Structure 1
């Protein structure tokens, strides 16, 4: 995970490519609220019924407000969350903070955002309202430069919150314009003579934007008169069960559900069934996943691509703008599908299919992690994060302990290597707190829990899990698992400053053929830890020898995680030798490997070495800028130089050398330029030859 940018600026908003109609008054009001020069409230809520256009309005207003927030406008999508307590984690993920500490997430966000001016957009708060309230209460008072814009069906209810109630579009003007625009997308041109009928349609749909879009999409198959006639009929009796739950709700919400119900009613039977089954996905899905999860009974897998395309044409399913190979359901549409799935009595069955699909996905990722497909699996893990989380939640709530252990062991291993340390720790503690049966899954889960503790600097927990993992590996009887367990003990000793003991433990691990799976990756990490311990003790040549062995093994496997760390260690040994050209080249190679896997800690370490090599090559100004870039990256991890006194002292020595070369004023200027660069821009600069 890494800090994101949009157009070279911090932030993660994607360009809004679809036409935005109406809402001029609301946009102006939000613009005033979000302008620090005119807005008084630091918490602003856009509140309204489902489908009324809250998210679209908030994103449009946030995009307009970007110039006021030099540290970014950040969208936090909350709709994929189904478990309490995850709002803070969702914010950390959206900000791209690769936090490696065990502190509360509110502290992590507050530390990173201190002194910054940024806007957080918390989208779809209603189902996690209490968590949103707790997060905002904890962060907003501590961060004067932070503003929060929320979208929800109800206000957060906090003091000072400015609420903008969002009503449907005026029928005679904006609603008809939106309807005509979306009808044109369906291939239907609205003539002036059609306007009275179009107005009648918009009036029946109460001017609710989502209802209008769903109705307009139907003009690919119906005439306007047919659509109007259908909307004038009574709600079909077989939808009464779904409508009944909102019988006491706001009339406009009932209108929206009625409109969605009509769209549902006009779908073919298999389209309706697919819609219902798609509701189990969290965040998004691809066609292959839809086939695997949703096929069964009257719905064969081979029919799903065509049915999916039809649902896209009808605006029931949306393609993601940033990745057209992935699909999503809008919240209200997904809720309707979930209701229908329950009415069909299929909810539990399909959720188990979803769990099993992502359980198999994670198992395949672990089996191939130590291969040339490692980077692809990293990207897949990040893309499917919400679905993997949902699969883990499902596994933990089912009575099948061994299956839950397997699911968590695989998913948490991938999360540990892809930056989601907190979620990995949470689910591992849950599954390992039970009487986990002995075997490969328990060993891998214990190893991952210890490895997470090492990265978070929790050395007491790392020592505990080192013992438990070693015991599990011995009970399992797998020699490679026994070697993997050595990494935890040796790493814990090294980070505790007991370098001689660490080297003795790590060097004693048997040298077995390197496997291509998760434990094979652990084999390489044992040797990386050994090289690192030699380096910290000052034995640079021994560190180089071990690191070069790791590089060779890494390249033979095709993996990058361990290999990039080995490249960085070789670069540091090059510096000690005085081979500046090789040091810079190897540091850049290390940086490229870490960037490939979004390994923020590795990238920060490589930047420190690259800065040292750059000043040794005579370019102090560029070195100062690299140190500034590195400081920003370390900031994302929450633990500068991994809290290692040796690494902190080494970085300080680099800084003093650069200051001595170019002077304090030139250093501060170049350092500030580097520190101001967003993550990706900074890495691109570092990758260039000076």
Structure 2
């Protein structure tokens, strides 16, 4: 999976889209606390009401200190989580760990982070504090190089926690500066005679940045005098009721809600309705999704693009930082919309439309997975992960189980191929626990569950699901499903070291026309597994013949997942033949294919082959760096060389050959250079050649 870098530094900090106003004292305090050479406390909590700017301050402070964390500054966004027990999983995903194990996520993170120096930012923790506490308590004592910065409306309450209570902006200085800067987009320029009115506006909004930004953009339709007058005149009775309903909260939180409510009041009726309905999206959304989910009744689909543009103009909706075709609502704005949706009595109906939209999306993704659209579907699965998870949770809680089973089969398949193994395991286990009636959806779900277990190396569990899938496929009478089930059986036997039995099962699978859907992908994976088993036995020519068949079929389909694995096997047979140039070229082709699909396991395997080919070509220094890059990528999978004795022995053989050529000192230097490269930089180095 890809890893974002900034100036060679690893991590996933987003670009800063807007300028930063004020907070200099708070920034200096955070910088000192987060600097591992200065601060001694490793848990820092940035606490304040919604909209006060906690996330922006945390990100600005993190950028200041990121050079002190060679293993990355990592942002973990928790606001999309709606189900308990997912904080650790969100951390694994943010770190881009392709976790193949079934161990608890705290153990996975702890094992990966041993000896590393990194900063985790747990953002928007208030609704998952009960999950954050044990996660933090488990990691900090065993990871001395880890620091955690969290943003929340309240602290965790743990020993040693350093807490910064973030106050609103001082009105006379920073609040006025923020208002003026944001209002500049409307053409407003602060004059000497305007300052008192702007200060009054900011004071009435308690200096809360989000409230100030929402007010500032209103100058596109109101004069400053009108804005000042409306805020000074107080709220309508409807907003007074809203403030009263939230009256148990902190006064400044009530101020924010009333400020958002005032902005809501100024929206046209259909803008308010769209705002409420958009609140069901767990993360960003595109226009097509908004039209599909939010249209209905007085809100026709054809009006949504224009209404969404209006919400963007009013800072209710915002364009995504890096993808201009996607939009998002800030957490507090989304919460307000969700309250309004409940008040309208539409929450359940709109959530079902959200579920059905992503149910159709997953179905389309599976139907086209074994085609030239595979890379596009992989990217879309990654982009829509939070929404797919929310829709899957909705499906699993509905009393009618058919939708949950169908969706789990499709979403589980996509997640399995795009690295979200734990999510896939979770939804498939819940859907299959209901003991659904036999049928195509159940067979597909059984296959996906067994395929997840294979990648997790959970071989006993994989054998159980394989047996169930074989029975279901035979009962269903679908010949392609029977072939797909052979992949589970043969793959489990192969990874268990029973190569003769694996080859027998995989060779016996009928050669049928390859479909475009998920089971079509499984047909290709049967042949990949057969080639791999032959290779492990040392039957390189047989392995090559099967792998080349897969390559040809992959090109014919337009897919790349199985094709990239086949390229890696062909590269190994090139090396066995002594055709070093071909081995280098084909290994790089395999690496590029896996990179397109964010396939970390495949990329790690290709790097091992490439290192072996490069040392055979006489470049020991480059080969040592490649082994270091490969070791870093294997770390992300949780299981070096998939714990295969054959693959581990081969890797050790090539390491010893490089050491012999370079000497231990030169080898260690080059290896450490590769190990220090961030994921993306390392793959670029490997792909670049000389």
Shorter-chain TM-score above 0.5: yes
Q: Which residue of 2 aligns with 1:386?
A: 386
Q: How does 1:150-189 map to 2 (within 5 A)?
A: 150-189=150-189
Determine the C-alpha separation between the residues in 2 that align with 1:370 and 1:451: 16
Conservation of the 8 A alpha-carbon contact between 1:183 and 1:190:
no
Determine the C-alpha separation between the residues in 1 that align with 2:303 and 2:357: 19
Conservation of the 8 A alpha-carbon contact between 2:53 and 2:210:
yes
Structure 1 unmatched ranges of 5 or more: none
Deviation at 1:19, TM superposition (A): 1.3
Conservation of the 8 A alpha-carbon contact between 2:580 and 2:617:
yes
Q: Which residue of 2 aligns with 1:28?
A: 28
The count of residues paired between Structure 1 and Structure 2 equals 690
Conservation of the 8 A alpha-carbon contact between 2:527 and 2:546:
yes
Secondary structure of the corresponding residue to residue 22 of structure 2: coil
Determine the C-alpha separation between the residues in 2 that align with 1:275 and 1:87: 27
Q: Which residue of 1 aligns with 2:413?
A: 413
Deviation at 1:241, TM superposition (A): 4.6
Q: How does 1:27-426 map to 2 (within 5 A)?
A: 27-426=27-426
Q: How does 1:571-590 map to 2 (within 5 A)?
A: 571-590=571-590
After superposition, the C-alpha distances for 1:134-172 in whole angstroms (9 at most, x for unaligned) are 110010111001100000000010000000001111111
Deviation at 1:472, TM superposition (A): 1.2
Determine the C-alpha separation between the residues in 2 that align with 1:466 and 1:36: 49
Secondary structure of the corresponding residue to residue 238 of structure 1: helix
Determine the C-alpha separation between the residues in 1 that align with 2:449 and 2:371: 22
Deviation at 1:7, TM superposition (A): 2.6
Conservation of the 8 A alpha-carbon contact between 1:6 and 1:14:
no
Deviation at 1:4, TM superposition (A): 3.4
Secondary structure of the corresponding residue to residue 21 of structure 2: coil
Q: Which moved more, 1:640-649 or 1:2-11?
A: 2-11
After superposition, the C-alpha distances for 1:619-676 in whole angstroms (9 at most, x for unaligned) are 1111111111111100100000001000000111111111112211111111111111
Q: Which residue of 1 aligns with 2:449?
A: 449
Conservation of the 8 A alpha-carbon contact between 1:3 and 1:636:
no
Q: Which residue of 2 aligns with 1:476?
A: 476
Secondary structure of the corresponding residue to residue 323 of structure 1: coil
Q: Which residue of 2 aligns with 1:430?
A: 430
Determine the C-alpha separation between the residues in 1 that align with 2:606 and 2:423: 26
Conservation of the 8 A alpha-carbon contact between 2:490 and 2:529:
yes
Conservation of the 8 A alpha-carbon contact between 1:282 and 1:386:
yes
Structure 2 unmatched ranges of 5 or more: none
Determine the C-alpha separation between the residues in 2 that align with 1:90 and 1:67: 24
After superposition, the C-alpha distances for 1:57-77 in whole angstroms (9 at most, x for unaligned) are 111111111121111111111
Q: Which moved more, 1:466-475 or 1:478-487?
A: 466-475
Determine the C-alpha separation between the residues in 2 that align with 1:596 and 1:105: 26
Deviation at 1:186, TM superposition (A): 2.4
Secondary structure of the corresponding residue to residue 151 of structure 1: strand
Determine the C-alpha separation between the residues in 1 that align with 2:374 and 2:7: 28
Conservation of the 8 A alpha-carbon contact between 2:100 and 2:455:
yes
Deviation at 1:233, TM superposition (A): 2.6
Deviation at 1:240, TM superposition (A): 4.3
Determine the C-alpha separation between the residues in 2 that align with 1:324 and 1:530: 44
Determine the C-alpha separation between the residues in 1 that align with 2:40 and 2:665: 38
Determine the C-alpha separation between the residues in 2 that align with 1:685 and 1:433: 46
Deviation at 1:321, TM superposition (A): 1.2
Determine the C-alpha separation between the residues in 2 that align with 1:17 and 1:461: 46
Q: Which residue of 2 aligns with 1:636?
A: 636
Deviation at 1:509, TM superposition (A): 0.3
Deviation at 1:188, TM superposition (A): 1.7
Conservation of the 8 A alpha-carbon contact between 2:242 and 2:258:
no
Structure 1 112/232 Cα, relative in aligned 2: closer, same or farther at 3 Å? same
Secondary structure of the corresponding residue to residue 473 of structure 1: helix
Conservation of the 8 A alpha-carbon contact between 2:9 and 2:67:
no
Determine the C-alpha separation between the residues in 2 that align with 1:543 and 1:67: 46
Deviation at 1:358, TM superposition (A): 0.4
Conservation of the 8 A alpha-carbon contact between 1:218 and 1:227:
yes
Secondary structure of the corresponding residue to residue 38 of structure 2: coil
Conservation of the 8 A alpha-carbon contact between 1:2 and 1:97:
no
After superposition, the C-alpha distances for 1:295-338 in whole angstroms (9 at most, x for unaligned) are 11111111111111110110111111111111111111000000
Conservation of the 8 A alpha-carbon contact between 2:282 and 2:390:
yes
After superposition, the C-alpha distances for 1:513-568 in whole angstroms (9 at most, x for unaligned) are 00011000000000000000000011000000000000000000000000000000
Determine the C-alpha separation between the residues in 2 that align with 1:138 and 1:291: 43
Determine the C-alpha separation between the residues in 2 that align with 1:240 and 1:405: 45
Determine the C-alpha separation between the residues in 1 that align with 2:183 and 2:37: 40
Conservation of the 8 A alpha-carbon contact between 2:33 and 2:41:
yes
Q: Which residue of 2 aligns with 1:553?
A: 553
Determine the C-alpha separation between the residues in 1 that align with 2:8 and 2:305: 37
Secondary structure of the corresponding residue to residue 140 of structure 1: helix
Conservation of the 8 A alpha-carbon contact between 1:378 and 1:418:
yes
What is the alpha-carbon root mean square deviation over aligned residues? 0.9
Deviation at 1:2, TM superposition (A): 3.9
